[in-house]
Chain A
Amino acid sequence: MTPSGLATLVVDDEEAIRESLAAWLTKDGYRVETADSGESALEIIADRLFDVYLVDIKMPGMDGIELLSHVKARQPEALTIVITAHGSVETAVEAMKRGANDYICKPFDPEELSLIMERLAATKALRDENVSLREQLMERHDAGLDGIVAQSEAMQAVFATMEEVAPTMTPVLIQGETGVGKELVARVIHHASERSAGPFVALNCGAQSESLLESELFGHERGAFTGAVRARRGRLEMATGGTLFLDEIGDISAQMQVSLLRVLEEKRFQRLGGTQWIDTDFRLLSATHRDLPGLIRQGRFREDFFYRINVIRIEIPPLRHRLEDVAPLADHFLERYSRETGKRILGLTQRAMGILTAYHWPGNVRELRNVMERAVVLAKGQMIGAEELSFLEGANEPCHLGPMSLREMEIAHIQAALDTCAWNVSRAARQLGIDRATLTRKMKRYRLQRP
Chain B
Amino acid sequence: MMPSTDPEMPPPEDDAVAALVRLIPLGPVDELSCQVVAGNLQALMDLTVDILPPRPVFPDAFMEARRQFDAVKIIKHLAERFPGPTLGLGLTGSDLGTPVLTYVLGESQLGGRMAVVSTYRLTGAGAQRKLERLVKISLHEMAHVLGLGHCWQPQCLMRSPRNVAQVDELPLAFCDTCRYEIGRRVRNLFHQIQSPPDRS
Interface residues, chain A, CB within 8 Å of chain B? 2, 14, 16-17, 19-21, 23-24, 26-29, 106-111, 113-114, 221-223, 229-231, 273, 275
A16 touches B110 (CB 8 A): no
Contacts A14-B99, A273-B177 supplied; 19 other A-B pairs, CB < 8 Å: A2-B152, A16-B72, A23-B109, A23-B110, A24-B100, A26-B149, A27-B110, A29-B150, A106-B99, A107-B99, A107-B100, A108-B100, A109-B101, A110-B104, A110-B163, A113-B100, A221-B176, A223-B178, A273-B180
Across-interface contacts of B101 in A (CB, < 8 A): 20, 24, 107-110, 113
B102 touches A108 (CB 8 A): yes
Q: Given that A221-B177, A222-B181 are contacting pairs, would A114 and B162 also be in contact in the complex, using a CB cutoff of 8 Å?
A: yes
Q: Which of B145-162 contact A (CB under 8 A)?
A: 149-152, 160, 162
Q: CA A109 – CA B110 in complex, angstroms?
A: 21
Q: CA A21 – CA B107 in complex, angstroms?
A: 12
Across-interface contacts of A275 in B (CB, < 8 A): 176
Across-interface contacts of B177 in A (CB, < 8 A): 221-223, 231, 273
Q: Which of these, A2, A110, A231, contacts B162 with CB under 8 Å?
A: A110
Q: Which of these, B72, B109, B181, contacts A223 with CB under 8 Å?
A: B181
What are 5 of the A-B contact pairs (CB < 8 Å)? A27-B149, A27-B150, A222-B177, A229-B149, A230-B152
Across-interface contacts of B100 in A (CB, < 8 A): 17, 20-21, 24, 106-108, 113
A26 touches B110 (CB 8 A): yes
Across-interface contacts of A223 in B (CB, < 8 A): 177-178, 180-181, 184
Q: Which 4 A-B pairs have the closest CB atoms?
A: A16-B99, A222-B177, A20-B100, A223-B181
Q: Does B22 contact A (CB under 8 A)?
A: no
A111 touches B162 (CB 8 A): yes
Q: Which residue of A lies closest to B101 (CB)?
A: A110
Across-interface contacts of B149 in A (CB, < 8 A): 26-29, 229
Among B101, B109, B149, B178: residue with most chain A CB under 10 A: B101
Q: Does B97 contact A (CB under 8 A)?
A: yes
B144 touches A222 (CB 8 A): no
Q: CA A114 – CA B103 in complex, angstroms?
A: 13
Q: Nearest-CB distance from A121 to chain B (Å)?
A: 12
Q: CA A17 – CA B97 in complex, angstroms?
A: 12
Q: Nearest-CB distance from A82 to chain B (Å)?
A: 14
Q: Given that A20-B72, A114-B162 are contacting pairs, would A107 and B150 also be in contact in the complex, using a CB cutoff of 8 Å?
A: no
Q: Which residue of A lies closest to B104 (CB)?
A: A110
Among B102, B109, B110: residue with most chain A CB under 10 A: B102
A222 touches B151 (CB 8 A): yes
Q: CA A21 – CA B163 in complex, angstroms?
A: 18
Across-interface contacts of B184 in A (CB, < 8 A): 223
Q: CA A229 – CA B180 in complex, angstroms?
A: 13
Q: Does B86 contact A (CB under 8 A)?
A: no
Q: Does B42 contact A (CB under 8 A)?
A: no
Q: Given that A28-B149, A273-B177, A275-B176 are contacting pairs, would A107 and B160 also be in contact in the complex, using a CB cutoff of 8 Å?
A: no
Q: CA A21 – CA B181 in complex, angstroms?
A: 25
Across-interface contacts of B98 in A (CB, < 8 A): 20, 24, 107
B163 touches A111 (CB 8 A): yes
Across-interface contacts of A229 in B (CB, < 8 A): 149
Q: Which residue of A lies closest to B175 (CB)?
A: A222
Across-interface contacts of B66 in A (CB, < 8 A): 107
Q: Which of B62-112 contact A (CB under 8 A)?
A: 66, 72, 97-104, 109-110
Across-interface contacts of A16 in B (CB, < 8 A): 72, 99
Q: CA A77 – CA B149 in complex, angstroms?
A: 28
A114 touches B160 (CB 8 A): yes
Q: CA A221 – CA B180 in complex, angstroms?
A: 11
Q: Mark B117-156, 1 if CB is under 8 A from A, else 0.
A: 0000000000000000000000000001000011110000
Q: Nearest-CB distance from B56 to chain A (Å)?
A: 22
Across-interface contacts of A221 in B (CB, < 8 A): 176-177
Q: CA A221 – CA B156 in complex, angstroms?
A: 14
Across-interface contacts of A28 in B (CB, < 8 A): 149-150, 160
Q: CA A113 – CA B160 in complex, angstroms?
A: 13
Q: CA A28 – CA B109 in complex, angstroms?
A: 13
Across-interface contacts of A21 in B (CB, < 8 A): 100
Q: Nearest-CB distance from A93 to chain B (Å)?
A: 21
Q: Nearest-CB distance from A105 to chain B (Å)?
A: 10
Q: Given that A19-B72, A275-B176 are contacting pairs, would A27 and B103 also be in contact in the complex, using a CB cutoff of 8 Å?
A: no
Q: CA A21 – CA B99 in complex, angstroms?
A: 9
Q: CA A26 – CA B177 in complex, angstroms?
A: 19
Q: Nearest-CB distance from B170 to chain A (Å)?
A: 15
Q: CA A350 – CA B125 in complex, angstroms?
A: 89
B99 touches A20 (CB 8 A): yes
Q: CA A248 – CA B150 in complex, angstroms?
A: 38
Q: CA A20 – CA B101 in complex, angstroms?
A: 9
Q: CA A2 – CA B150 in complex, angstroms?
A: 10
Q: CA A125 – CA B51 in complex, angstroms?
A: 46
A27 touches B181 (CB 8 A): no
Across-interface contacts of A110 in B (CB, < 8 A): 101-104, 162-163
Across-interface contacts of A108 in B (CB, < 8 A): 100-102
Across-interface contacts of A24 in B (CB, < 8 A): 98, 100-101
Across-interface contacts of A20 in B (CB, < 8 A): 72, 98-101
Q: Which residue of B lies closest to A12 (CB)?
A: B100
Q: Which residue of A lies closest to B105 (CB)?
A: A110
Q: CA A221 – CA B177 in complex, angstroms?
A: 7
Q: Nearest-CB distance from A208 to chain B (Å)?
A: 24
Q: CA A108 – CA B162 in complex, angstroms?
A: 13
Q: Nearest-CB distance from A54 to chain B (Å)?
A: 10
Q: CA A429 – CA B103 in complex, angstroms?
A: 87
